[in-house]
């Protein structure tokens, strides 16, 4: 009874503080994500007041937060749109990989950590945070902007690339031979391919089976299906987040719209819990020794992500300010970087603190670059704000 009471008190206090901080951030027009992280640091190991009873519950909530963030991202796309994006934006995905994975690999080799750590740190610096960026796009009311499909296209390619990269990384870390690594990779690719095939060929049937006029039933079925597929994907080493994303892709039409409306409040709650948990799992005393290399790596890869977004928007025909907004939005790293670092610490323990400091820097800087890259670029170039294209109304703000 005492442990239950303590857990309820801790959870109530954290959620109340998050709500107050979210209101404060909304009033000043600032993303609440950095504030959520600071709350986690303050109440984590080595912080001002370490939590005890509620930490396990928060860990589960954080996992659900990532799953819901990726599910909601998948609901924005149909399977046909996904295939079209892959066909048209694969050059941007290749540029993204080269510009952002190479700095991480080079840094690991310079630090003398060896080729295995280089493969892991390349993933840490390569993958933007779909969860953070999805939240930032909502906070800044940019879901209707012309450059947002370009940003989501880059994220989609990265998320699907994780279905290939993570099995390879796990095999490399385990020292598996070519045969073992190939089997793991084939399972991952088969799983992704099967889900995409079902979404393309039988997406309407899936949506019809899930559909319900009762909001409660729709919520239970969609949430249950998402958690089930995410768990199976995790067992197959495809990643629970990728599994949730693929569920979102498979649902379409009124079902996707209805599920999105019902799940948005849950997503925001559990997303906040995810960012708090990330801070909770970080000991502030581990950060100072690796702060300088992490800061240098963050500066380099923030610049390369902005270049990636600018290039992708340019290829899509976006002009002027939209290119800079796309670049600034892609800077944040988060959940996948943390997962990759967690897998690699058994081989190279020093990669954990470095990746933690690196992600903390960019998860704080990311919302700032998303907001300020375009205005700063306009001041430097002396160009006025890009007007709305003729014949196209300005995008309506999206209430999130």
CATH number, residue 239: 1.20.1530.20
391 phi-psi bin (left φ>0, alpha ψ -120 to 50, beta other) = left
| Counted domains in the chain | 1
Comparing C-alpha atoms, which of 273, 237, 243 is closest to residue 71?
Answer: 243
> What is the model's pLDDT at position 276?
80
Provide the token pair at 271.
């997303």
In a domain, 197, yes or no: yes
In a domain, 391, yes or no: no
| DSSP at 286 | G
In a domain, 254, yes or no: yes
In a domain, 40, yes or no: yes
Q: How many whole angstroms separate alpha carbon 274 and alpha carbon 32? A: 13
Domain range for 8 is 2-381
Other Cβ atoms within 10 Å of 97 Cβ, number: 18
> What is the model's pLDDT at position 47?
65
| Helix 321-329 × helix 291-315 angle, to 10° | 140
> What is the model's pLDDT at position 392?
37
Q: C-alpha 367: how far from its chain's center?
A: 13
> What is the model's pLDDT at position 7?
80
> What is the model's pLDDT at position 58?
78
120 sits in which H/E element? helix 115-126
**In contact, 298 and 365? CB cutoff 8 Å:** yes
Name residues of the chain where pLDDT drops below 50: 387-400
* pLDDT tens digit sequence for 273-296: 877 877 777 777 878 888 999 999
In a domain, 400, yes or no: no
Percentage of residues in the chain with pLDDT exceeding 90? 18
**In contact, 228 and 107? CB cutoff 8 Å:** no
Provide the token pair at 235.
């067992």
Cβ neighbors of 121 (< 8 A, separation 6 or more) are: 104, 105, 107, 108, 113, 344, 351, 354, 355
In a domain, 125, yes or no: yes
Q: How many whole angstroms separate alpha carbon 165 and alpha carbon 237? A: 10
> What is the model's pLDDT at position 31?
67
In a domain, 399, yes or no: no
Cβ neighbors of 118 (< 8 A, separation 6 or more) are: 104, 105, 106, 108, 109
In a domain, 393, yes or no: no
* pLDDT tens digit sequence for 182-228: 676 677 677 777 777 777 777 777 777 887 878 888 888 888 888 99
């Amino acid at each position: 009874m005492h442990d239950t009471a303590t857990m309820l008190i801790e959870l109530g206090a954290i959620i109340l503080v998050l709500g107050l901080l979210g209101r404060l951030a909304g009033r000043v027009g600032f993303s609440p994500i950095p504030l959520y992280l600071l709350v986690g640091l303050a109440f984590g190991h080595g912080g001002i007041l370490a939590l005890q009873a509620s930490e396990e519950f928060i860990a589960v909530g954080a996992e659900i937060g990532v799953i819901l963030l990726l599910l909601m991202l998948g609901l924005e796309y149909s399977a046909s749109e996904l295939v079209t994006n892959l066909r048209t934006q694969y050059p941007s995905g290749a540029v993204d990989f080269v510009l952002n994975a190479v700095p991480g690999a080079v840094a690991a080799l310079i630090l003398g950590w060896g080729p295995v750590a280089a493969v892991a740190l390349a993933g840490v610096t390569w993958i933007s945070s779909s969860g953070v960026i999805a939240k930032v796009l909502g906070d800044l009311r940019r879901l209707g902007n012309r450059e947002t499909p370009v940003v989501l296209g880059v994220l989609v390619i990265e998320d699907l690339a994780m279905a290939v990269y993570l099995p390879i990384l796990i095999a490399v870390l385990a020292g598996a031979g070519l045969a073992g690594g190939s089997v793991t990779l084939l399972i991952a690719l088969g799983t992704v391919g099967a889900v995409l095939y079902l979404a393309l060929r039988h997406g309407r049937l899936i949506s019809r089976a899930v559909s319900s006029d009762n909001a409660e039933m729709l919520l239970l079925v969609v949430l249950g299906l998402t958690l089930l597929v995410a768990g199976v994907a995790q067992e197959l080493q495809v990643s629970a987040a990728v599994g949730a994303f693929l569920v979102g892709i498979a649902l379409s039409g009124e079902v996707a719209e209805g599920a999105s409306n019902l799940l948005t409040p849950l997503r925001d709650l559990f997303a906040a819990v995810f960012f708090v948990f990330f801070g909770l799992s970080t000991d502030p005393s581990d950060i100072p020794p690796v702060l300088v290399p992490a800061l240098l790596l963050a500066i380099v890869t923030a610049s390369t992500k902005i270049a990636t977004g600018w290039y992708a928007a340019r290829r899509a025909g976006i002009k002027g300010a939209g290119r800079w907004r796309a670049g600034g939005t892609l800077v944040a790293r988060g959940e996948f970087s943390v997962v990759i670092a967690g897998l690699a610490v058994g081989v190279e323990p020093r990669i954990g603190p470095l990746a933690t400091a690196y992600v903390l820097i960019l998860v704080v800087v990311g919302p700032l670059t998303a907001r300020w890259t375009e205005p700063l670029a306009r001041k430097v170039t002396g160009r006025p704000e890009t007007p709305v294209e003729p014949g196209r109304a300005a995008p309506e703000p999206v209430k999130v």
